[in-house]
Amino acid sequence: MIKRNLLVVGFEISLLFSFVVGYYRGHTLIADKTCAELQVNNSSVICVCNATYCDTVTREEPHPRRFMVYTSSKAGLRFKKFTSILEVFDLCKVTECSTTLELEPRKRYQTIHGFGGAITDSAAINWSNLKDEELKQNLIESYCGDSGIQYNMLRVPIGGTDFSPRFYTYQDYPERDKDLSNFTLAPEDLNYKLPMIKACMKASNDSIDILGSLWYPPAWMKSTKKSNGISFLEEEYYDALALYHLKFIKEYYKQGVPIWGITTTNEPLSGITKHANDNVLGWSVYGLANWIVNYLAPKIKRYDPSIKILGVDDQRFTVPLWFNAALKHVPELGRAIDGIGLHYYENELVPPEIVDRCFKNYPNLFVLSSEASIHSQTNNKVDLGSWDRAEKYIKNIIEDLNHNYTAWIDWNVCLDKMGGPVLSKTYLDSPVIVDPDAGVFYKQPLFYAMGHFSKFIPKGSKRIQSVEKYNCGDPIKHVAFSTPMNTIVVVVFNDKNKEKVVRLKLGYSQAKVLLEKNSIATVEFHNDVIDESCDCEK
């Protein structure tokens, strides 16, 4: 149980040490505000933010021939900084257990679009419930500012979702109006979602790409005339639903929020399964492909060819259904979409190689992760301080990036202490939990898990080849990139309850990194090769 007096103590301790400057071998690091940590039960720590104090992280520009390490751990480290000298990689000193990640920047793969989360009604309402403007700004800066984890992608629902206070669309009335003459943004957009999105856009020094997703259309377009339950779109409204998306894009643009891309319906499989009690829309394979090719894509691309259209927007195991089978019915689908969005759920059931195989013949398309969240089947509530949940995100992000995903977008950016509000009562966890009554919000381990990628792998980075060698234990989970700043970034995850030394080899230079037990580390150094080697033979 969280005690209010513990919050005060935590803030006092952090204030004492927040501006301490670290010195490592003569190099001064930028002083960040440290985590106002609070231990919760037997979990890891959460970091508490109030109106006057919130922890920060600043990316250090690596010095020539040095490397930077940022570490977060189950024991409570949060972006702890360390710098040291790049050494000469000496093959003569390598042993069987000298775990080495050999980097090859000339072997490149996908280009990164970015990382982010969703501005749902629930998230934006929770943010709005923080009455102190400085506290609200601290949450925005934590996500989108230079002193935060620098999200550059935001997903926004097109109308209501299960994480909304009510069922609504942008034209509930008049019914059967195919021209959508009364299409109007909802109070949830104007009072909550748009202000939060604009605050993020203002805080960011990078452009923020907005991805729109529809959960369900006006009920009068559906076969059952209900917002929820198993249903399909009536064929007579195929063009009207395409127009619905276009009007959303235009209305958001009028509000100063350009749309980067749209998905072609959130989790269409849910609309024809037991999950249909939520506000959803079901599709047949042919129906969805036909609608995209002949209605949605022509209307959107005529308006703005740069807007991305992403198919599937469902679990990984549905790719053969919504992509492969759909292409057999409507081959033009491969040219009508720009890529696909996949959800995190049930990933353990289907290996990521299924995506590689599906995309083998479509090199023009990209894949991103468009939604992720965590809850327990036995306890759906928020689990404050859970490192296990952070581990799940870390492992999935590394796996996805190593299989050519170009972006990774989380679900609700913030929820209340119950994991809501939510219509379906299916409460979820979130990287940030707000407590308006206490005048604080809590940064979960999930927040730092996301930040180890979003903060240090900017848009335009390219994944590079990284091969593990000289390891006598379990493989180290990792992924490596070259960035637009001509640096190398490697994210390494140690899921063992003991420390481990890993060498990151680039040419004849190496960064020798000590991984804390149960930790994630992001390492960055310049993309330069030391032209030296040992003259032994081995």
Kindly tell me the number of DSSP H helices and DSSP E strands found in the chain: 14, 24
Q: What are phi and psi of 227, to 5 degrees?
A: -70, -35
Question: Identity (one letter) of the amino acid at 466?
Answer: S
Report the 3 state secondary structure along 102-130. EEEEEEEEEECCEEEEECCHHHHHHHHCC
476, 57 contact by CB (below 8 A):
no
Question: Identity (one letter) of the amino acid at 48?
Answer: V
Q: What are the structure tokens assigned to 22, written together?
A: 């670290």
| Residue 267 annotated as catalytic | yes
Pairwise CA distance, residues 73 & 446, whole Å: 11
Q: Which of 267, 391, 516, 524 is catalytic?
A: 267
Q: Which of 188, 371, 391, 524 is catalytic?
A: 371
Beta strand 308-315 with 261-263: parallel, antiparallel or unpaired?
A: parallel
Pairwise CA distance, residues 138 & 144, whole Å: 10
Distant-in-sequence contacts of 374-382, Cβ < 8 A, 24+ apart? 374/428, 374/429, 374/446, 375/419, 375/426, 375/427, 375/428, 375/429, 380/419, 380/426, 380/427, 380/428, 381/418, 381/419, 381/427, 382/415, 382/417, 382/418, 382/419, 382/427, 382/429, 382/430, 382/433
- Cα–Cα nearest to 300, from 343, 256, 264: 264
| Residue 371 annotated as catalytic | yes
Pairwise CA distance, residues 268 & 529, whole Å: 49
Pairwise CA distance, residues 363 & 342, whole Å: 17
Pairwise CA distance, residues 223 & 230, whole Å: 9
Beta bridge partners of residue 116, listed in sequence order: 153, 409
215, 157 contact by CB (below 8 A):
yes
Which residues are known to be catalytic?
267, 371
